[in-house]
Structure 1
Amino acid sequence: MTSIDEQGNRVGAVDKIRGLCLLGILMANMVIFQYGFYGMEAGSAFHLSRIDEWAHRGLQIVVDGNFIPIFMFLFGYGVYKLRRGLVQRGLKPGWVLVRRFVMLIVFGIAHSFALWEGDILMGYGTMGFALLLFANRKPKTLIIWTLLLSLVLIAAGYGTGDSKSEKEEKQRIEEYVERSIEVYQHGSYAEIFDFRLSDDPDIPDLPGNGAVLAAVVIIAMLPMFLLGIIAAGKRWFHDPGRERRRYIGSASVLLPIGLGLKSWAVLHLSSAWSGVWLTAGAGMLALGYIALAALLFSIVPDRNVVARAFQAVGKMSLTNYLMQSVICTTLFYGYGFGWFGKLGVLSGVLLAAGIYSVQAAASLLLLSRFKIGPMERVLRMVTYWSLSGRPRTRKVPVPDPIGANVG
């Protein structure tokens, strides 16, 4: 399996894990593309079959909330890797990283306004600025921060089960979902755009509004980002063949515990502890999936077409992520095929697998002719402020302070 060299070449294992993660994200998002963000809270409006109800329950346990943390982990890994490579070239990483984060925010704004409100790029771009405070810290410091923030996040989940106030909001949600069905199935692009911006179920905001919400988001996202930085500094994916025992040990512990906690939480959503177990279980499952994927990719030869397909999707993750929104909004919204609420949860899972397969084949074909995807090229051009998408100068390498602290 491909490993990184001191010139900052890509880590094959990370690209493959990122590609696999995009499949999980598409399967999780498929429910939202089909029913909206609140659709499953008013499932009766869509007359789901028993099979679809169980399929949704399975997705809640195995998929929902498990793959976004993996992307957070890989983003932290990538930030460390990019910064380290720049320092080794004798370049100052500050403005390079700032331009990259700003461009991700720009992509996110365009994506959320023009296509679909379920965007993650703005959050990642914003969190990138917070990561600049941690990218050069010692492992012990990062571990302490990760543990403290994880405990705060898990504790915040207590009492988030169904409450009386939430039950009172159910009617507003159901009314909103009824309106959304008509708009998303038959509306034009302009009508759907206006609905997304102007209509909502009128659920009260958190106390303190923006400031509190921003703090909650940072606390929720930082632990997985920091773990990614630690993993990059410790070179956990550079020689997967030698790391198999670590992967086996991690997966065998984290996967059963994570599945157990999430299963209990999903089956007991009214419990005050459901939020705690849901949060803890999702984090453990995400790390368990990373370990399991790394183990499998360490066994499967690089020349295997399936491994190459996952790697190709991972290399073009930004392009493929945006294309998933283009494809699915076209399929489900009124200005396209108008399938909103009509397909079914299980059929949606199969459709997600089909869309991903097409993306994998297209990614392999495109990368056989070009080094990177189109959106990745734009991001690199802005990051390095260069039409070639590469650093303009390459100076004599200097001692790597990051590696000294984290390696």
Structure 2
Amino acid sequence: MTRIATLDVLRGFALCGILPANLVPIAQVPPPPDGVALNLLVDQRFFPIFAFLFGVGFTLFLDGSARRHPRPRLLLVRRLAALAVLGALHHLGQPGEALLPYAVCGLVVLLPASYLPRAVALAAGLAATAASLAVTQGGIGLIPGMFLLGLAASRYGLPYRLDSLGRPLAVAFALFLAAAVPAVAWQWSEVELTGFSLSGAVAGLLMAGAYVTGLALLMRTRLAPGLEAVFAPLGRLALTNYLGATLLVLGAARLAGLATWGHVLGLAALVLAVQWLFSVLWLRSFPAGPLEWCWRRVTWWGRPLTHRPASEVRG
């Protein structure tokens, strides 16, 4: 399956944003007293992006595997079952982790929805998202809606048409940004309830939309090579880096406390720097990350990932 650079960049960008949000619960320390910026710029902003991208990736994988396997949905059942096992293990270190809910929701929601017409999937995604905001104030309840919206986006061919969607992306970015400003002001007015409020969930979704469309626009400019160099390695090893961050944070938390927002940002920057360097070096020799390879191996029962000389690896 041909890689789409913008999707890799979005995954890497989302990974950078979700790590600071997860740092405090992973390390099991009280939230920093000066962490308002975390609430307004990070919390509930990147989780929807990951869920949306999972729906996109699910559909791209299904469509691609259908050209090579007579039973592509069987592959997806294996893929989701393996993800559930990883999520269950990851839950031991991070009780709020997302992989297990993703796997369950993928089996219960995405697999059946893959038979739906794209317009129906889009309507179902919008309805599920609205219902989540009304009933659960976002959080894990957003997963079905974001999954369905990602599925619908793929069915409409949006991932492959990003290079030709300059004006629609600009309009979408402007609308998301215009709506996010009053939503963030609303959240600010009750910031002490962040994580448990409708205002935080609404602001998070709108800012997530602004982040995605804004970054997709920047990928159409001269900044694209730089953005790809910074974020794509992290995004290509998203599963390895997501799980690896928990181990790194648990180890670092034993050595240093997270008493301030500065400590949170500092540790997040250190972890991401280590992961970026590892990702770049790994991709010089291998086409996929170690856990990505394991996941693919279980999915396809295929041949193991082999070492490739650096001269044969693009980038």
Report the TM-score, using the length of structure 1 for normalisation. 0.69
Deviations along 1:94-151, whole A, 9 cap, x unmatched? 22101110111111111122x3323111111111102101123212211221222222
8 Å contact kept, 1:156–1:276: no
Q: Relative contact order (C-alpha < 8 Å, sep 6+): which is higher?
A: 1
Q: Does 1:15 align with 2:12?
A: no
Residue 284 to residue 318, structure 1, CA distance change in 2 (3 Å): same
Within 5 A, what are the aligned runs for 1:133-148?
133-148=112-127
8 Å contact kept, 2:55–2:148: yes
8 Å contact kept, 1:157–1:279: no
From 105, 113, 116, the counterpart of 1:127: 105
SS state at 1:241 partner:
helix
How big is the shift at 1:260?
2.6
From 275, 282, 307, the counterpart of 1:359: 275
Within 5 A, what are the aligned runs for 1:43-82?
48=33, 53=34, 56-82=35-61
Amino acid at match of 2:214: L
Amino acid at match of 1:371: P
Q: Does 1:319 align with 2:240?
A: yes
Residue matched to 2:149: 227
Distance 1:141 1:359 in 2: 39
8 Å contact kept, 2:84–2:100: yes
Residue matched to 2:131: 152
8 Å contact kept, 2:25–2:94: no
SS state at 1:240 partner:
helix
SS state at 1:65 partner:
coil
8 Å contact kept, 2:39–2:191: no
8 Å contact kept, 2:8–2:231: yes
Distance 1:232 1:110 in 2: 30
Within 5 A, what are the aligned runs for 1:109-258?
109-113=88-92, 115-129=93-107, 130-156=109-135, 217=140, 219-258=141-180
Distance 2:116 2:23 in 1: 38
Distance 2:284 2:127 in 1: 45
Deviations along 1:56-108, whole A, 9 cap, x unmatched? 11111111011011000000001101111122235211221011101111111
Amino acid at match of 1:76: G
How big is the shift at 1:240?
2.8
Amino acid at match of 1:104: L
Amino acid at match of 1:150: T
Distance 1:80 1:230 in 2: 9
The aligned length equals: 303
Residue 270 to residue 346, structure 1, CA distance change in 2 (3 Å): closer
SS state at 2:201 partner:
helix
Q: Does 1:386 align with 2:308?
A: no
From 186, 190, 214, the counterpart of 1:292: 214
From 257, 267, 270, the counterpart of 1:340: 257
SS state at 1:299 partner:
coil
Residue 378 to residue 256, structure 1, CA distance change in 2 (3 Å): same
Moved more, 99-108 or 226-235: 226-235
- Structure 2 gaps of 5+ residues are 307-315
Residue matched to 2:230: 309
Within 5 A, what are the aligned runs for 1:16-31?
16-31=9-24
Distance 2:15 2:167 in 1: 26
Distance 1:331 1:340 in 2: 9
Residue matched to 1:279: 201
Distance 1:370 1:241 in 2: 28
Amino acid at match of 1:58: A
Percentage of matched positions with identical amino acids: 26
Amino acid at match of 1:138: P
Distance 2:136 2:113 in 1: 25
Larger radius of gyration: 1
How big is the shift at 1:325?
0.7
Moved more, 24-33 or 104-113: 24-33
8 Å contact kept, 2:233–2:279: yes
Question: Cα RMSD (Å) of the superposition?
Answer: 2.4
How big is the shift at 1:301?
5.8
How big is the shift at 1:387?
3.1
Amino acid at match of 1:22: L
How big is the shift at 1:34?
4.7
SS state at 2:100 partner:
helix
Deviations along 1:304-340, whole A, 9 cap, x unmatched? 354123111111001111111111110103xxx1x23
Distance 2:171 2:240 in 1: 34
How big is the shift at 1:385?
1.6
Residue 263 to residue 30, structure 1, CA distance change in 2 (3 Å): farther
